[in-house]
């Protein structure tokens, strides 16, 4: 009589240690798979994520605004609706475009934020097309928790502004440098020379941190206005209407927001 053969499962031939390791590896692979599909779902939604605030909360995801039949833009869901922002001072604020324009965009920015660099290009397009109707105000909001060099670079921007070259220096810095603390800070005085600044005055201002209190005041203003990350901007209409631009909106979307006040 032949002996009946039985087929054992893999778990019957494994010792307890092997069974534990098998289960552990399987669990990790399952979690990785779930995480992959979660990230894939977020990506497919088309969200455009900005830099995070110092408190660790995710911020400045660009949300597609809804439009009504009149093609007017609604406030995006992720942005504050009650916005308090310091009034523009034409003597101390950095203003690009017509100083008396009926539409104002106040931007709070971090020079080490990659999304701020993207939005800088958007705002250059805005001013190129709407310089008579829009004025662009730049205020500082360095995120120290993410970008340890941002405050130093903000100080350099302000020192350039003290010699009337704020925008020239800012454009150069935003255009030619990478983000996330990759800039060699020894280049900051060289940028000053490139845009025609008095290097001695620049270095004195820069080394003394002459604008530290102004940068802190800008930060406080941005936070009071609802900003928790960068870029964060406030669009102000002709009658004081305020709308948050909570992230690196593309030009077409910002233009749509502007057009509702021009039509």
Helix, strand, coil distribution of the chain in percent, nearest 5: 45, 15, 45
**18 φ, ψ to 5°?**
-65, -40
Who wins on pLDDT, 35 or 42? 35
Give the Cα separation of 225 and 108 in Å (integer): 10
pLDDT higher than threshold 90 for residue 3: no
pLDDT higher than threshold 50 for residue 82: yes
Of 25-39, 200-214, 242-256, where does mean pLDDT reach its minimum? Answer: 25-39
Who wins on pLDDT, 15 or 192? 192
Give the Cα separation of 261 and 44 in Å (integer): 32
Average pLDDT for residues 122-146, to the nearest whole number?
Answer: 97
Q: Which of 60, 32, 30, 45 is nearest to 227 (CA)?
A: 60
The number of residues in the chain equals 263
pLDDT higher than threshold 80 for residue 28: no
Average pLDDT for residues 109-133, to the nearest whole number?
Answer: 97
Give me the pLDDT at residue 68, please. Answer: 39
Give me the pLDDT at residue 177, please. Answer: 84
Q: Where are the beta strands (DSSP E) in 31-79?
A: 48-49, 61-62
Q: Which residues pair with 137 in a beta bridge?
A: 95, 106
Please, which residues have CB within 8 angstroms of residue 127's CB and are 6 or more apart in sequence?
96, 97, 134, 136
Q: Which of 155, 221, 245 is nearest to 192 (CA)?
A: 155
List pLDDT tens digits, range 51-81.
Answer: 544 443 333 333 322 333 333 333 344 556 6
Average pLDDT for residues 139-160, to the nearest whole number?
Answer: 96
Give me the pLDDT at residue 75, please. Answer: 37
pLDDT range class, residue 178, cuts 50, 70, 90: confident
DSSP 170-227: HHHHHHH--SSS-S-TTHHHHHHHHTT--HHHHHHHHHHTTTHHHHHHHHHHHHHTT-
């Amino acid at each position: 009589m032949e002996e009946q053969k039985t087929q054992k499962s893999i778990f019957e031939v494994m010792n307890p240690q092997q069974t534990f390791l098998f289960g552990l590896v399987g669990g990790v692979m399952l979690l990785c798979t779930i995480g992959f599909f979660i990230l894939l779902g977020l990506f497919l939604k088309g969200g455009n994520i900005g830099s995070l605030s110092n408190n660790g909360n995710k911020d400045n995801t660009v949300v597609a605004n809804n439009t009504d039949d009149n093609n007017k833009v609604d406030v995006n869901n992720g942005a504050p609706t009650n916005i308090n922002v310091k009034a523009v001072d034409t003597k101390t604020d950095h203003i690009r475009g017509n100083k008396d324009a009926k539409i104002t965009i106040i931007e709070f920015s971090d020079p080490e934020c990659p999304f701020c660099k993207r939005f800088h290009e958007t705002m250059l397009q805005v001013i190129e097309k709407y310089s008579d109707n829009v004025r662009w105000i730049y205020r500082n909001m360095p995120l120290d928790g993410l970008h340890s060099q941002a405050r130093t670079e903000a100080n350099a921007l302000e020192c350039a502004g003290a010699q009337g070259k704020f925008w020239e220096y800012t454009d150069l810095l935003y255009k030619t440098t990478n983000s996330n603390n990759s800039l060699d800070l020894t280049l900051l005085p060289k940028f000053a020379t490139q845009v025609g600044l008095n290097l001695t005055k620049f270095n004195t201002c820069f080394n003394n941190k002459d604008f530290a209190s102004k940068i802190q005041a800008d930060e406080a203003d941005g936070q009071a206005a609802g900003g928790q990350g960068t870029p964060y901007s406030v669009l102000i209409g002709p009658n004081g209407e305020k709308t948050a631009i909570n992230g690196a909106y593309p030009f077409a979307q910002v233009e749509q927001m502007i057009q509702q006040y021009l039509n």
